[in-house]
Structure 1
Amino acid sequence: MYRELRPPPWLAHVACAWVSDGSGARVLPDGCVDVVLSGGRVVVAGPATGVVVVAPTPGQHGCGVRFRVGAAEVGLGIPADQLRDQTVPIEDVIGARPARRLTAAVLGAGPERAVSVLTRSFAEPVRTPDVLARRAALLSVEQPLAGVGRQLGLGERQLRRRIERAVGYGPRTQQRILRLQRFLRLIEGEPAARTLAQLAAAAGYADQPHLGRECRSLTGRTPAQLRDEGATPAGESMSGTF
């Protein structure tokens, strides 16, 4: 069981919180950074460039708070590119004493209480958000980076550096991952309403073979397998609030 919870509207840098029953999962790349309670430890899961397999923790629930694309530094105070493809102990990010207090507060708590504590622990921004970098990351899914730079009044080299710091990887990689997330949103919203070729076009792929190559490269699954398995996008399908 995995369930996402919508954050209060004033938590602009948080995409969602979530709880799980500890049954394990294949986590698809989503461009986000999570603070996670799993197996009795609190860790930070950085932006991944491939599938992350989460081992089951029988009898122990899991929960986490997920920062929006480009917003991890706002909540954690550390650039996302320093966390790329890594899972690090929370004390490496916020320091030993705050980490001990946070871990003590969530261990032994029920999943709803634990996720509330995690989320509120990172509710206060510790860095000013790089709004332009986030906007550029989202715009570059639709258009070349040079055009995005002209639109925002920034040079391409500066824009690349700022996107990598905020999102965790360069524009090309984040473009691929955000396009995958768009495809996942489409198959969730209308799983049988359109053909894969139509979904590929709607998600921004050149054609269906392009969609297939990207899905296999990023997830190890074909588009049809992702649809049949009920793969969902990050931060969507929230079933409640906290």
Structure 2
Amino acid sequence: MYAEWPSTLPHVIAWRSTVPPGTPPKRILPDGCLDVIWQDGRVFVAGPDTTAQLAAVPPHSRLFAVRFADGVGPSVLGVPADELTDRRVPFDALFSPAETRRLAEAGDPLAALEAFTLRRRHRPDRAMVALAAGARAGAPIGAIAESCGLSARHLHRRCTAAFGYGPKTLAKIMRMQRAVAMARRGRPFADVSVAAGYADQAHLARDVRALAGVPLSRLVR
């Protein structure tokens, strides 16, 4: 069973999961975020992914996590996102043994994760928040850069540090997320390709397979 909800902290999603016996590996799609995850007393950081990851979790496992959106994660963790891209990093590789024990041994892991975030959070980078919002809405990257007063080169550097990859990759991932969400609501794939901003249905199919590793039809099933 999986559930997620907005944290009391801005730009943060809280989630939890329990794994019944017989649960197949879960396909986790890239989303431009990074997570700090407590799993059965072990704590690790899941960096931003460029392609889907298959997570095989032992039966009866419990997971609690905070997911950082809008590029705020690196300021909490003190590490640029591109150092974590496509990686799963033990928490104690980034933080002290005392900080790690505080989370790993917490009676309420989610409360401990949110308290950790609250202690370390900084004011979000408004340009990166705007970039994320624009990418989710399908706005052209050039227009986003101009509205933020950033050159293309400066935007790329800031985006890579905040999200783990450049703005074009971020926009492609957000477009795929929009397309999958529409398709899961039952919209025909041809309509999805137009509404999500693809050139045609073949373009939609190529991008989803490249990012998710499987066809859109399988994700919808």
TM > 0.5? yes
Q: 1:91 to 1:122 in 2, by over 3 A?
A: same
Q: Which residue of 1 aligns with 2:177?
A: 181
| Shift of residue 51, structure 1, vs aligned partner | 1.5
Instruction: Say which SS state the counterpart of residue 159 (structure 1) adopts.
Output: helix
Q: Which residue of 1 aligns with 2:214?
A: 221
Q: Which residue of 2 aligns with 1:133?
A: 128
| Shift of residue 78, structure 1, vs aligned partner | 2.0
Superposition map of 1:106-145 within 5 A:
109=107, 113-140=108-135, 142-145=138-141
Percentage of pairs with the same residue: 36
Aligned residues: 217
| Partner Cα separation in structure 2 for residue 51 and residue 184 of structure 1 | 13
| Shift of residue 126, structure 1, vs aligned partner | 3.3
Q: Which residue of 2 aligns with 1:149?
A: 145
Task: Tell me which of 178, 186, 199 is aligned to 1:206.
Answer: 199
| Shift of residue 143, structure 1, vs aligned partner | 4.1
Q: 1:124 to 1:225 in 2, by over 3 A?
A: same
| Partner Cα separation in structure 1 for residue 85 and residue 150 of structure 2 | 25
Q: Give 2:215's aligned amino acid.
A: T
Q: 1:103 to 1:218 in 2, by over 3 A?
A: same
Q: Which residue of 2 aligns with 1:14?
A: 12
For residues 137-194 of structure 1, give each alpha carbon's deviation from its aligned partner in whole angstroms, at most 9, with x where no partner exists.
4425634433322222111111110111111111121111111111122234x22xx3
Q: 1:29 to 1:167 in 2, by over 3 A?
A: same
| Partner Cα separation in structure 1 for residue 74 and residue 122 of structure 2 | 6
Cα RMSD between the aligned structures? 2.0
* Unaligned 5+ runs, structure 1: 229-242
The question of whether the paired residues in 1 share the 8 Å contact of 2:33 and 2:71 is answered with yes
Superposition map of 1:20-99 within 5 A:
20-21=18-19, 23=23, 24-99=25-100
- Given the two structures, how large is their TM-score scaled by the length of structure 1? 0.82
Q: 1:27 to 1:54 in 2, by over 3 A?
A: same
Q: 1:126 to 1:7 in 2, by over 3 A?
A: closer
Instruction: Say which SS state the counterpart of residue 50 (structure 1) adopts.
Output: coil
| Partner Cα separation in structure 2 for residue 21 and residue 119 of structure 1 | 22
Q: 1:6 to 1:181 in 2, by over 3 A?
A: same
